[in-house]
Amino acid sequence: MSAKKIIIGAGIIAIAGYFFIEYKVQKIIELFQFVKIYPTAIKKFNIKWNEGAPFVTFNLDIKLVNPTPEVFSAKLLAVTLKRILFYDKSNILLGTATVNTSSITIPANGSTTLFNIPIQLELKTVASTVISVIQKSFDLKDIRIETIVSILGTEHKI
């Protein structure tokens, strides 16, 4: 075999692989938009100071529910669930969960739980949220969850 045929063959395989991964990633993104995320347990609650600003850290168990009739599977090396961002109804960032996992499978019409996800909240936003709860103007439905997924090294918000 000549080097030219090897290079052309490798190029065709690379292009086909790229389109296959792109299709799989698009399917993962489409299905993940239906996945519901529920907190189930809080562990290792702590208050720390960083550069003069106080923040709260804790580990959170998160239940992922797949209400669709398709199995949700994100077991590609090219796809990593990086972070989960929590916003209030005013679009203020409440906190960040650092996940960094690339192998999530949720059965059809089923659920799975991710354990010990580290969460960090700024104490200022925690205080304003507590005040909102006291004033009864806060509802868990008002929390918007945004996920950051890394696909082939590029981050996407879902």
**Tokens 């990633």, residue?**
25
Residue stretches of the chain with pLDDT short of 50: none
User: Is residue 21 classed as helix, strand or coil in its secondary structure?
Assistant: helix
Domain that includes residue 25, residue range: 3-157
Residue 125 has, within 13 A of its CA and on its CB side, a CA count of 18
Q: What is the pTM of this model?
A: 0.65
Per-residue b/e over 46-81, b at no fewer than 16 CB within 10 Å? eeeeeeeeebbebbbebebbbeeeeebbbeeebbbb
Rounded distance, CA 155 to CA 150, Å?
Answer: 4
Closest CA to 114 of 45, 24, 41, 25: 41
The pLDDT value given to residue 110:
92
Looking at the structure of the chain, the number of domains it has is 1
Nearest alpha-carbon partner for 85 in 99, 106, 65, 102: 99
Q: What confidence score (pLDDT) does residue 25 get?
A: 73
